[in-house]
Amino acid sequence: MTLEQVYVFAILAVTLGLFIWGRWRYDVVALLALLAVIICGIVPATAAFEGFGHPAVITVAAVLIISRSLQSSGIIGWITRWLDKLQAGPSIQIAAIAGLVAVLSGFMNNVGALALLLPVVVQTAERTGRAPGELMMPLAFGSLLGGLTTMVGTPPNIIIASFRAKSAGVPFGMFDFTPVGLVIAIAGITFMAAYGWRLIPIRTPATSTSKLFNIEDYISEVLVPRKSGLSGTSIQDLLTDAGEEEVAVLALMRRGKKIIRPKLNYTVRINDRLLLEGSAEATENILMSTPLKLMGKRNLDTTEFQSDDSGVIEAVVTPGSKLIRRSIAQAQLERRYGLNLLALARQGRQVRKELRKVLVRPGDVLLLQGQMDTIMDSLAAIGCLPLAGRNIALHREPTLVPLVIFSVAIALGVSGLLSLPIAFTGAVVALVLSGQIRARELYQEVDWPVIVLLGAMVPVGMAMEQSGANSLLADGIAALAAILPAWSIVMLMLMAAMFLSDIMNNAATAILMSQLSIQVAERLDISADPLLMAVAIGASCAFLTPIGHQSNILVMGPGGYRFGDYWRLGLPLEALIVLLAVPLILLVWPL
């Protein structure tokens, strides 16, 4: 083993460890790996950023933008509304939910497809009295299974399609993944609907906000009594004088009228009642420092914080949210985004600490209050997805324009008139020119951490090839082929991709495993296609952990899951996929 190979394996080991640790974002870890291979001289500095011009990176960016336009077009939202009206048992309901999200995921970003159905599934669980945990994991797994069916269904397929051009001279086509992926998706959904949902641990029987969040723990009602000397005092001065500026005034009641989120310069009067949000200690300090009088305890619910222009919404924190590892006080949620945090739940349980000091994690569920006309924009700005909103329209009037543009791009790519990267880039331009996406919002629709990850990992994969590290691994696998049947190599590549995708980003898995598959095929003098297809299936089957895919993290909070819950359904599902995928791959893509 050469010194360069030692460096590459050491860099990969550290990179894998950082992915598993999860303390730093995956795009930052990828950039560190890129810098390491450059500094070690394995990849020349002139080639450091060639990955950002890779066809796979361009295609992924274009597909993300197109997916967002489909998501906001309203037409798919209209299609999903039938779920809320579906009257059926758990098996049929799970089959419908997982099947619909799989169909959507085949043609748009799977996280976007899940985001569309998340509010609908929450409302369906509440309406049927079913625990959300029964539906959330099948929803997430269905979005991953749907991504197997087409080239644009998931970034790994796009990456693998582009690497296939290196071995065969032509990339995989749009529907080359369909014969194997569709059968696996149908089988996986059937298993989850018929039996698999019974394996999911259910810890959160409550389905409504009022049951999940006990907001009385953080909300206190106080009275401005007579002879208090507070009449005419602004809310700002009242809180400042008490030394409790972290306490928020959520509502003010005066003579039968309710003012939601009164401004800080608003003045109080005698007999006003205020709803204060803060810890018990902070509220006690205000009562000790001012003549305010604590009212008797009464049941509070979310209707206390709603008015014609103000509403309450539940939202789940995405892995890319600006709130991650920050407290609400640090994020300045109210001042910067006009949102008040009423409660926070984690893994199906309400957090009982002082809310303003709790560090937010991916998958947390927030109960937020804000202005009706801006609350959705505020959620998008902080990186949260709405769950079950109160009187908030999640969809606009349907339009077919994005769907038509996307269909034309697919037709041009499949017919060979244009390459898919060019066809999808043209579709993005058409969406802008037709007014479906505003030019100033264009780059907001791209998941930049994914793009940076891809652009950085391509040269890291190049380092494995140039240093001979891939050749070393390929020689070892080829040696196994001498004593094992040929189909076992396909199974080995499939299971290795599955393992890696459960602990690191699946796009990074696809980049590293694709190049290795090509070299193994060259050593064995066989077609690389079955090995690449095995990697494509394995890289998108991250069913054992919540960190394997964003879809898994997003349902963790609403479903009330813990880290170790996913393998209970995920392990038999992965075993089923391995048993089906290997003979299917060899049938459609022979060695």
Residue-wise pLDDT for 160-191, tens only, equals 999 998 778 889 999 999 999 999 999 999 99
d(CA 450, CA 405): 24
Structure confidence at residue 390 (pLDDT):
41
Structure confidence at residue 486 (pLDDT):
81
3-state secondary structure of 447: coil
Confidence of residue 356 (pLDDT cuts 50, 70, 90): confident
> What CATH number does the domain located at 225-291 have?
3.30.70.1450
- Of 530, 532, 529, 457, the C-alpha closest to 157 is 532
Task: List the Cα angle 449/451/454 in 5-degree steps.
Answer: 110
CATH architecture observed for domain 307-389: 2-Layer Sandwich (3.30)
- Which range (188-202, 223-237, 259-273, 301-315) has the least confidence? 301-315
Q: 1-17: buried (b, 16+ CB within 10 Å) or exposed (e) per residue?
A: eeebbebbbebbeebbe
Confidence of residue 209 (pLDDT cuts 50, 70, 90): very low
pLDDT tens for residues 371-416?
Answer: 877 888 889 889 888 886 444 444 456 678 888 999 999 999 888 8
Structure confidence at residue 178 (pLDDT):
96
3-state secondary structure of 208: coil
Q: Summarize the confidence of residues 250-279 as an average pLDDT.
A: 83
Q: Summarize the confidence of residues 82-107 as an average pLDDT.
A: 85
d(CA 208, CA 131): 10
> Which ranges constitute the DSSP H helices of 383-505?
401-415, 420-433, 448-467, 469-481, 486-503
Q: Summarize the confidence of residues 274-293 as an average pLDDT.
A: 79
Contact 201, 133 (CB under 8 A): yes
d(CA 437, CA 246): 39
Structure confidence at residue 392 (pLDDT):
42
Average pLDDT, the chain: 85
Structure confidence at residue 336 (pLDDT):
86
Q: pTM of the prediction?
A: 0.83
Instruction: Examine the pLDDT at 37 and tell me if it is beyond 80.
Output: yes
Q: CATH 3.30.70.1450: which residues of the chain?
A: 225-291, 307-389
d(CA 53, CA 219): 52
Structure confidence at residue 181 (pLDDT):
96
- Residues in CB range of 1: below 8 A, 6 or more apart: 472
Instruction: Examine the pLDDT at 210 and tell me if it is beyond 50.
Output: no
Structure confidence at residue 394 (pLDDT):
43
pLDDT tens for residues 452-496?
Answer: 998 999 898 888 888 888 888 888 888 887 788 888 999 999 999
Contact 347, 380 (CB under 8 A): no
d(CA 563, CA 341): 25
pLDDT tens for residues 212-228?
Answer: 566 655 677 888 888 88
Which of the 8 DSSP states describes residue 304? G
- Of 320, 513, 465, 461, the C-alpha closest to 33 is 461
